[in-house]
Amino acid sequence: MSQLNNKFGKVAVLFGGHSAEREVSLKSGQAVLNALQSCGVDAIAFDPKEQPLWQLKELGIERVFIALHGRGGEDGTIQGALEFMNIPYTGSDVLGSALAMDKVRCKHLFKAMGLSTAPYAVVDSKRGFDAAAIMAEFGKVMVKPSHEGSSIGMSQASSASQLEAALADAFKFDSQVLIEQWISGREFTITILGNDVQPVIEMTTPNGFYDYQAKYQATTTQYHCPADLSSAETELLQTMALQAFDLVGASGWGRVDAMQDQHGHFYLLEVNTVPGMTEKSLVPMAAKANGASFEQLVVRILEQTL
């Protein structure tokens, strides 16, 4: 048995789950599991959709690597269950996970604390809305279900009829929907690992925005790491990302997404507490630019549970 085995004990990698992001989670989790096993860690796969959670205790699991994306895995639910079972786990705690997953409350927090974020409105499926009034205020918008990730249910709208269609689609995923003023410009993501901010990545896609297809299926998406920014811009963006991460109570590891408009102003979009860990994912890309292999990254995240 290797030293790492002694160090971590028996580890379960939680992936799959019930959310709309199950397909991505299966890929993330398998990549994490393979990396841990290649480092000599006694790690097993555990899919909460297929196995009841209490089996973790029966299996003698000593710590958990959470690779569940979306609801049930990234929203504080699984974190609360693991806290109750007294099993250490990777990433943010219950509150940090729940707040980061809630796009609407994240925006309220950013605004309340004076962090730069795009103007927005919130629409509830039970209360009705005036699409024409919203479009008159914002011109063009991005529509986001409050509790989904991987750009699921997201779409853009430039007219009242388009907004109504976008909201109808978003309401399939969530009763509360965030409507953000459209920002034309560059898209960035900033990885946080422990207390360290990793190199900034810029994503470019012909899709109009960095959507699900651009993230997981397209071959036309381009990544620039480190992003072509001045040292002052890089430092500002990294500082903003850390502030947002800390504000929502996130910890351990995660990713903060942001944009820069045509005038050079940066805007925070959201905080991700269990980002993708597939071969196309951004966190491994940022870690690699900082000199860490995928295996080293995965072990470093797991070390946070010790």
Q: Is 62 exposed, middle or buried (0-12, 13-18, 19+ CB in 10 A)?
A: middle
Query: Catalytic one among 19, 96, 257, 281?
Result: 257
Q: Are the CB atoms for 16 and 25 separated by under 8 Å?
A: yes
Active site (annotated) includes residue 272: yes
Point out the catalytic residue in the list 150, 151, 251, 281.
Answer: 150
**Residue tagged active-site, from 19, 92, 146, 272:** 272
Q: Mark whether 264 is an active-site residue.
A: no
Q: Is 270 a catalytic residue?
A: yes
290 an active-site residue?
Answer: no
Catalytic residue of the set 21, 74, 148, 211: 21
φ, ψ dihedrals at 192, nearest 5°? -120, 130
- Which residue is catalytic, options 75, 153, 255, 281? 255
Our answer to whether residue 216 is catalytic in this structure is: yes
Q: Are 210 and 272 contacting, i.e. CB atoms less than 8 angstroms apart?
A: no
Nearest-CA neighbor of 27 among 275, 206, 247?
275
Q: Which of 216, 223, 233, 300 is catalytic?
A: 216
**276 annotated active-site:** yes
Residues forming the active site:
21, 150, 216, 255, 257, 270, 272, 276
